[in-house]
Structure 1
């Protein structure tokens, strides 16, 4: 099957138009029905704001994908899982449900794409000498990847425009790779990526500071889950040099933030799932950056890392991953030192 650029452009533009026209209606209904996010000690915003923007992303993404691409090679099962996550996210945005219920639905959605569509990581492709994975390890690792990436987008959704910007950078990168190298087996995932880009772009029109709507769990769970499947299918293409390490680099900001925060909480003897203000965007805000400045800084970091892993893919998986690890440690030390200096300065005053 020959893939052309026109359907991808049409899919992205369709998703964008659906989302950008849907958001004002969602905002209006949310204010009429008083379905608004209450500011608290963990949030940065200070006003009552709707958090149902994921509905616009979902509408744009789903309609574009079903119109402009073929629902084969696992895309049909992906859409079924997205429908489930959309409704559990919507329920959480409306009435706040338990973490166990949300996790149960994520588990079911993950099972659909893993067992019904056979979307899973089957090989590490030589990363640290590891090749093909045994069946049980393949399913177990894939489960961790999907759950981890899905929730990493949810965790980084703490500033106006931040999660949406990172999602767009990530989806764009994967989309270009699928278009160039996907072929008949994976080419339709380019449409998945660019449909997501269009939907998120339409939503971002109303989400940049000061945001008049948030994506909520409806959007963050949906975007995170789609990105996790894109990452897995990207790795499984097998015709991209150093694909596993490139995938890690493309998703660097949400993965770094999630792992860093979980490690800090664990070291401090706190629950890894206890909400706090230790995320990277909170640290940058504490340094004096504005919300817009923080979003731009994190977007630039992510873009630079994407450029690094794309341009230097010939150095191999191990070298790229070690470079990313070195940068992660350096960035963590910088954030920690600045925090210490800030606290020390305040105590002296």
Structure 2
């Protein structure tokens, strides 16, 4: 076993144990101080439940990464940690007292600016998508900002069932982490520590988050996890450009496939809301997990189904990366449309049957 593998194993174990042993204390304090999430018309849970599970994930991730990762290498990880700290406190305040969307956006703007400007973490090329390769620096910054904020909020929005967001983030980080480990080289291999520390923290948290959950991730966890996933995505795409890992110029479309479930859910629900004449940020029960629950699935079955869907799409884009970005993205869009039509038709039938009865 190499030194790197030992360090990764210790990173995982540290993050896992910190989160595992932190959660019960957080649950106890949350109940003691009445810091609980109250069920409402949009939520699935039926009892008062703490929302501070992200504190345990953050503690495990941050402590493991700062102890075991090679932070002396200037590759953006220090700036990633700084951005995570900003979003941690934004999410923590929202979980405790609730804050406006605009204040959340300011926090995301600050965290994104730190990694883009201070570490120059950005998407520099479309790698042939729509015939576009290298991006002008202004467009590069603008598109990177859109990507980071979009992915961060996609993970935040999918956090609607016990274990769902944690499971999806775990699958995504495991996929990116594997390729950073195998093909990252000196510039990108350090990001496997980021992935492994997130996985460890999430597994410790998920011990208490699967149905019936004793604690939720909350914005504290979903914003931080979403931000980390967005940076891993950008670095994965850039690794394809600079290192030439197995997917080469197909890295952007492979990355979209790895993020399929959260991206599909976010884009679909935004379109549905706007078509109904509402704000895309107005909360409702139109998420894909709500539609699957309406089909008669239980929470655990819904989480497993969406996790399996994400894994199958990942396997598809990995095995058919040779088709190139254009064909892969067209295929993913076509599949998304078919899935949306299926969910819409089933929902309409269910509504008619409910009204008729």
Instruction: State the TM bucket, normalised to the shorter chain.
Output: over 0.9
Runs of 4+ in 1 over 3 A off after TM superposition: none
**Hey, what's the Cα distance between the residues in 2 that align with 1:29 and 1:49?**
12
Q: What is the CA deviation profile of residues 297-329 of structure 1, one whole-angstrom value per residue up to 9, with x for unaligned ones?
A: 000000000111111111111111111111100
Partner of 2:61: 61
Contact 1:257 / 1:279 at 8 angstroms: preserved in 2?
yes
Partner of 2:31: 31
Q: What is the CA deviation profile of residues 204-224 of structure 1, one whole-angstrom value per residue up to 9, with x for unaligned ones?
A: 000000000001000000000
Task: List gaps (5 residues or longer) in structure 1.
Answer: none
Matches within 5 A, 1:148-167: 148-167=150-169
Partner of 1:207: 209
Q: What is the Cα-based RMSD across aligned positions, in Å?
A: 1.0
Contact 1:3 / 1:187 at 8 angstroms: preserved in 2?
no
Partner of 2:343: 335
Partner of 2:40: 40
Q: State the secondary structure of the residue aligned to 1:295.
A: helix
Deviation at 1:9, TM superposition (A): 1.8
**Hey, what's the Cα distance between the residues in 1 that align with 2:41 and 2:353?**
23
Q: What is the CA deviation profile of residues 31-72 of structure 1, one whole-angstrom value per residue up to 9, with x for unaligned ones?
A: 000000010110000000000000000000001101111123
Task: List gaps (5 residues or longer) in structure 2.
Answer: none
Contact 1:172 / 1:194 at 8 angstroms: preserved in 2?
yes
Deviation at 1:5, TM superposition (A): 2.2
TM-score, scaled to structure 2: 0.96
Is 1:182 the counterpart of 2:184 in the alignment?
yes
**Hey, what's the Cα distance between the residues in 2 that align with 1:7 and 1:26?**
28
Q: State the secondary structure of the residue aligned to 2:120.
A: coil
Is 1:73 the counterpart of 2:75 in the alignment?
yes
Q: State the secondary structure of the residue aligned to 2:127.
A: strand
Match of 2:307 among 299, 302, 305: 299
**Hey, what's the Cα distance between the residues in 1 that align with 2:95 and 2:82?**
20
**Hey, what's the Cα distance between the residues in 1 that align with 2:14 and 2:257?**
29
Match of 1:121 among 111, 115, 123: 123
Q: State the secondary structure of the residue aligned to 1:296.
A: helix
Partner of 2:22: 22
Q: State the secondary structure of the residue aligned to 2:36.
A: coil
Partner of 1:319: 327
TM-score, scaled to structure 1: 0.98
**Hey, what's the Cα distance between the residues in 2 that align with 1:163 and 1:81?**
20
Partner of 2:251: 243
Matches within 5 A, 1:102-121: 102-121=104-123
Contact 1:64 / 1:195 at 8 angstroms: preserved in 2?
yes
Is 1:346 the counterpart of 2:354 in the alignment?
yes
Q: State the secondary structure of the residue aligned to 1:107.
A: helix
